[in-house]
Chain A
Amino acid sequence: MSWVYLARSLGGIALLVGFNLLLFGRVRPHLGTTQEIAARLTAEIPGFRMGRAIIGADGRSAVIENATNRSLYLIEAMGEDVVTRQLSKRLLANVGRLGEKLSLELRDFTFPRATLVAASESIAREWEARLKY
């Protein structure tokens, strides 16, 4: 393997990434509607039924309850896709709140934190209590 080969490879990567951006643009991460979130989780989790939910004002993050067993899922938009975690005491390192802003810290190397801005402070407080419990 030569330096020329490596330089050409880096050039090829730059070309392809640039071409990708040109053709498809930048994706604004968005979870979609409540129905779309429910459809995704139903496909992933056998027996999932949409329960209560808090969806961030920016539409990027949500905490959803599975009405079947009252378990909670954190779901965050990542590009066109989503990342989901079932919340447990072992995973959830900390829950903080500042006004209507909820901050979740996770013991997860690739998904260390999430932030949700609730519609009101009372809703944020209610979910903070639920998550801490």
Chain B
Amino acid sequence: MHLPNPTEIATPFFIALIVAEMLFARFAGHGRYETRDTATSLFMGFGSVISGALFAFLFIWFARVLAPYRLTDLGWAWWVFVAAFLLDDLTYYWWHRASHRIRWLWADHVQHHSSQHYNLSTALRQPLTGAFTPGLFFRAPMLLLGFPLPMIAFVHGVNLIYQFWIHTETIKRFPRPVEWIMNTPSHHRVHHATNARYLDSNYAGMLIVWDRMFGTFVAERDDDAPRYGIVKNLGSYNPLRVAFHEWVGIFNDVTRARSIRDAVLYLLAPPGWSPDGSRETSDSIKRRWNEYRAAHVPGE
């Protein structure tokens, strides 16, 4: 069965919605846009499409390697599509969680988080270096269960398109049932925030229920407005510096490591890990913040 490329179909809608959000931000005062930040995000989106096309063969090769070990062939029934959407979303959750907790994966994913703005252009700030990570292995369960390869690519594309519109400050909150089940702008603002209470939370793609199930859900609070970006925000708009800054950091750390164990942990431990604990991880930031709150904020 031939399925269309969802991203190609969605591109004109992305552009129209960004224009609409810019107008809303300018004239209603909700949301922020800055030219250089927008340009960086859009160029990274463009680069990511090219990089994805160049390295698509890896996914096809990986599927071929696993093909002999497929448990069955699930075919194209409607319920297989539904199952594919759900399983792809669950797989996305775990890939995304790992991308925040393992520095090798973070080196790629951090590119998406590197803007201090949160608008629809931020959604298009996509990484260029996914092919250099082991992220592909998260696709293995669906391939082994027998989902057709084009179906996996299609549902994954739809999932990513869903995530476009939630990168906005213009929508505050939806009615409770929606906020309980779906990933929404409110939940994803929390995910992009660097406030200590929000770090490492809300990894969902389409369904926020995964975060509720696995204990990573944090609700947005009106008394703690999200500050977007990363713990050490970047001092450059250059897309190449944005794309490679964490890879350079890993290279420097690994080549200067004093032992093989340290070198491996620089790659696989959470971002910010160091042998002497002198750098900050999201866990250490949260711990320090909680200690401070316990000591200085009444009622905490």
Residues on A lying within 8 angstroms of B by beta carbon are: 1, 5-6, 8-10, 12-13, 15-17, 19-21, 23-24, 26-27, 43-44, 46-47, 76, 78-85, 108-112
Across the interface, do B34 and A80 meet the contact criterion of CB distance under 8 Å?
yes
Q: Which 7 A-B pairs have the closest CB atoms?
A: A111-B235, A46-B292, A81-B116, A110-B234, A110-B236, A13-B42, A23-B26
Q: Which of B233, B242, B245, B249 has the most CB of A within 10 A?
A: B233
Selected A-B contacts with CB under 8 Å, 29 pairs: A1-B5, A1-B49, A5-B11, A6-B46, A9-B46, A10-B46, A12-B11, A15-B15, A16-B38, A16-B42, A20-B33, A20-B35, A23-B26, A24-B26, A26-B35, A27-B34, A43-B227, A46-B291, A46-B292, A47-B292, A79-B34, A80-B34, A81-B229, A83-B234, A84-B232, A85-B232, A109-B245, A109-B249, A110-B242
Across the interface, do A17 and B35 meet the contact criterion of CB distance under 8 Å?
yes
| Given A27-B34, A46-B196, A83-B235: 19 more A-B contacts, CB < 8 Å | A1-B49, A1-B53, A6-B49, A13-B46, A15-B15, A16-B42, A20-B22, A20-B38, A23-B23, A24-B22, A24-B34, A27-B35, A78-B233, A80-B34, A81-B229, A83-B233, A83-B234, A110-B234, A110-B242
Contacts of B81 in A (CB 8 A): none
Across the interface, do A19 and B22 meet the contact criterion of CB distance under 8 Å?
yes
Q: Which of A15, A26, A81 has the most CB of B within 10 A?
A: A81
Contacts of A23 in B (CB 8 A): 22-23, 26, 33
Name the contact of A17 in the complex, choosing from B39, B50, B116 (C-beta under 8 A). B39
Taking the closest CB of chain B, its distance from the CB of A29, in whole angstroms, is: 10
Give the complex CA separation of A13 and B38 in angstroms: 9
Q: Does B269 belong to the interface (CB within 8 Å)?
A: no
Give the complex CA separation of A78 and B227 in angstroms: 15
Give the complex CA separation of A79 and B228 in angstroms: 14
Taking the closest CB of chain B, its distance from the CB of A51, in whole angstroms, is: 17
Residues on B lying within 8 angstroms of A by beta carbon are: 5, 8, 11, 15, 18-19, 22-23, 26, 32-39, 42-43, 46, 49-50, 53, 116-117, 121, 194-196, 227, 229, 232-236, 238, 241-242, 244-245, 248-249, 288-289, 291-293, 296
Contacts of B236 in A (CB 8 A): 110-111
Beta-carbon nearest neighbor of B225 in chain A: A43
Give the complex CA separation of A44 and B249 in angstroms: 23
Taking the closest CB of chain A, its distance from the CB of B131, in whole angstroms, is: 16
Q: Which of A24, A109, A110 has the most CB of B within 10 A?
A: A110
Across the interface, do B35 and A80 meet the contact criterion of CB distance under 8 Å?
no
Contacts of B244 in A (CB 8 A): 109
